């Protein structure tokens, strides 16, 4: 495959970059954070604290330990509340702790006994440690029961272990809920709320009929209970992004309009969150600029037109700003349901030919390069589908060579592979130069988003785009099924 598209969107915090902090005043105490630490046996060396940026781990601060293994993480800036961890000089994670609004406390630990870390001056960390000890013991028991269930030798044992497993799982949930009721405003309760998913209720009977969709919609409608998308703490957890991915995979239709409704709402609410907003915007951009399913690039266009084009390009460096703008313009003219852009180009004997003069129920456009190794494989495969199935469905192939410098190789390939039954065309160097000199986004590659070869489109009888960005097998299935419906 020859790929002409390189896009890199720079997330504000990646790899082991340092976390951006927000300056605030803290009343009687000094502003920012001051976290004292004693970490034995390290002496006269630098250690770090890190946090999460979605699924990634990033550095938040560093300090130098003295000969007594003592140091202070401090700054005039506050850290964004969330889950943090202490990192050794060799960048291994030693233990977790919480950062809340109270950011002046002390930690004492020994790497030989990390289960005995003490944190003073932080009520939230006291709750966190107490809860973790109890819940971790229960999870060990739950995992043991799960292993016993997997290795059960007979149905009686399986039933016994399953009952014990469900009972232990219920105990964990009850303990979690009891903690949240007892400490509703604690950081730990907030994190537990972000983690949990609503349980699907039983299928109800409505007028004598089972409403099988009710549990699905119940979970969907309660999936984000008590979570507001402008809360920067969401970024500082390792499980929010997983929950977000689960929601879009299981509870949002793959139709682009359904996705657009969801992402637009989340981004609109998140707009006032200085960290969560760019996190969500770049996550959705990276996901839908090259989507998994056909037609979802419409979501990226919505993001560009409603967010980036309205000023949010300040979040990008110049190279990314240029790339994302060019990508958006390349997608505007070739969305599903739109009429295909006009193509008036040259036949192999240099006569003008128009795409719109090709009359047929279906037109398949193939943009390819005779020097592209992947094209040399896919174009003959395309001909095999054409001869076996598509010709009988009255499909016409409109083949476009995008490399005017290789006309002899192009013509030789057509003859060698016996592709004379297709319509072949190319754009001359003179016509391309005219488009470039006009300085308008109207080149063939821009209009049809030809940044890799081969690139395929399927049009209906009115030359509207009905499929794109599929494999040949997927195009074949689409054609066969569409023809049956028609």
Q: How many CB atoms sit inside 10 A of residue 67's CB?
A: 7
CA angle (373 as vertex; 364, 367 as ends), nearest 5: 25
Percent of the residues in the chain that have a pLDDT greater than 70, as a whole number: 93
Query: Can you tell me the distance from the alpha carbon of 22 to that of 78, in angstroms, rounded to the nearest whole number?
Result: 5
User: Which region among 12-16, 211-215, 259-263 has the lowest average model confidence (pLDDT)?
Assistant: 12-16
Do residues 395 and 321 share a domain?
A: no
Say yes or no: 209 and 286 in one domain.
yes
Enumerate residues 6+ apart whose C-beta is below 8 A from 455: 366, 367, 368, 448, 449
Number of domains in the chain: 4
**Least confident piece of the model among 20-34, 105-119, 158-172, 275-289:** 20-34
Let me know if residue 308 belongs to a domain.
Answer: yes
Q: Is the pLDDT of residue 3 over 70?
A: no
185 is a domain residue? yes
353 and 475 in a single domain? The answer is yes
Q: Respond yes or no on whether the N-terminal peptide bond of residue 41 is cis (omega within 30° of 0).
A: yes
CA distances from residue 18 to 21, 239, 342 in whole angstroms, order as listed: 9, 21, 49
Please give the pLDDT value at position 441: 57
Check: CB of residue 378 under 8 Å from CB of residue 340. Answer: no
Whether the CB-CB separation of 192 and 181 falls below 8 Å is answered with: no
Q: Are residues 86 and 216 in the same domain?
A: no
The pLDDT score that the predictor gives to residue 434 is 84
The reply to whether 227 falls in a domain is: yes
Mean pLDDT lowest for which of 90-99, 307-316, 337-346? 307-316
- Whole-angstrom Cα distance, residue 46 to residue 65? 6
Domain boundary residue among 195, 229, 255?
Answer: 195
Taking residues 421-449, what's their average pLDDT? 84
User: Which of the four pLDDT bands, split at 50, 70 and 90, describes residue 58?
Assistant: very high
Residue 296's nearest CA partner among 266, 256, 323 is 256
93 plus 221 within the same structural domain? no
Please state, in angstroms and rounded to a whole number, the distance separating the CA atoms of residues 87 and 83: 13
Q: How confident is the model at residue 27 (pLDDT cuts 50, 70, 90)?
A: very low
Secondary structure of 286-302 in HEC code, one letter for each residue? HHHCCCCCCCCHHHHHH
Q: How far apart are CA 236 and CA 239, in angstroms?
A: 9
Model confidence at 29: pLDDT above 70: no
pLDDT at 4 > cutoff 90: no
Q: What is the DSSP letter of 204?
A: P
CATH number at residue 79: 2.60.40.180
Same domain for 144 and 115: no
Question: What DSSP letter does each residue of 17-85 carry, written as one string?
Answer: PBPP-EE---TTSPSSEEEEEEEET--S-EEEEEEEETTEEEEEEEEE--TTSEEEEEESEEPPSEEEE
Rg from Cα positions in the chain: 30
3-state DSSP helix/strand/coil % of the chain, to nearest 5: 45, 20, 35
Domain boundary among 280, 309, 332: 332
Q: Which domain holds residue 109?
A: 22-121
């Amino acid at each position: 495959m020859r790929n002409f598209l390189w896009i890199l969107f720079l997330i504000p915090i990646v790899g082991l970059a340092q976390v951006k902090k927000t300056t605030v005043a803290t009343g009687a105490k000094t502003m920012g954070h001051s976290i004292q630490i004693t970490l034995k046996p390290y002496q006269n060396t630098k250690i770090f604290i890190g946090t999460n940026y979605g699924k990634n781990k990033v550095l938040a601060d560093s300090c130098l330990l003295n000969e007594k293994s003592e140091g202070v993480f401090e700054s005039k800036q506050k850290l964004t509340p969330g889950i943090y961890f202490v990192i050794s000089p060799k960048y291994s994670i030693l233990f977790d702790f919480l950062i809340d609004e109270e950011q002046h406390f002390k930690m004492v630990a020994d790497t030989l006994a990390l289960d005995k870390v003490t944190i003073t001056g932080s009520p939230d960390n006291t709750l966190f440690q107490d809860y973790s000890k109890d819940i971790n013991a229960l999870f060990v028991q739950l995992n043991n029961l799960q292993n016993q269930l997997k290795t059960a030798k007979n149905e009686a044992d399986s039933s016994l272990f399953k009952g014990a497993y469900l009972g232990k799982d219920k105990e964990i949930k009850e303990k979690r809920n009891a903690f949240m009721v007892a400490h509703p405003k604690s950081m730990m309760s907030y994190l537990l709320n972000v983690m949990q998913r609503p349980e699907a209720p039983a299928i109800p009977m409505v007028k004598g009929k089972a409403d099988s969709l009710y549990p699905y919609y119940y979970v969907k409608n309660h999936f984000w209970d008590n979570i507001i998308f402008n809360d920067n703490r969401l970024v500082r957890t390792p499980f929010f992004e997983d929950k977000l991915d689960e929601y879009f995979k299981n509870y949002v239709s793959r139709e682009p309009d359904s996705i657009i409704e969801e992402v637009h709402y989340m981004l609109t609410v998140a707009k006032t969150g200085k960290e969560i907003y760019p996190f969500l915007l770049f996550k959705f951009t990276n996901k839908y600029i090259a989507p998994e399913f056909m037609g979802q690039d419409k979501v990226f266009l919505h993001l560009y037109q409603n967010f980036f084009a309205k000023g949010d390009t300040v979040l990008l460096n110049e190279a990314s700003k240029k790339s994302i703008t060019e990508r958006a313009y390349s997608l505007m003219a070739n969305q599903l349901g739109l009429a295909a852009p006009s193509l008036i180009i040259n036949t192999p004997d240099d006569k003008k030919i128009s795409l719109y003069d090709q009359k047929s129920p279906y037109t398949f456009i193939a943009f390819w390069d005779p020097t592209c190794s992947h094209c040399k494989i896919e174009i003959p495969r395309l001909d095999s589908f054409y001869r076996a199935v598509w010709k009988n469905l009255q499909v016409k192939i409109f083949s476009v060579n995008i490399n005017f410098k290789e006309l002899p190789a192009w013509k030789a390939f057509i003859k060698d592979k016996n592709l004379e039954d297709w319509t072949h065309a190319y754009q001359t160097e003179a016509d391309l130069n005219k488009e470039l000199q006009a300085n308008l986004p109207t080149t063939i590659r821009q209009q049809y988003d030809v940044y890799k070869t081969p690139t395929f489109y399927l049009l209906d009888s009115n030359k509207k785009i009905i499929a794109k960005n599929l494999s040949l097998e997927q195009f074949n299935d689409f054609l066969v099924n569409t023809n049956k419906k028609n």
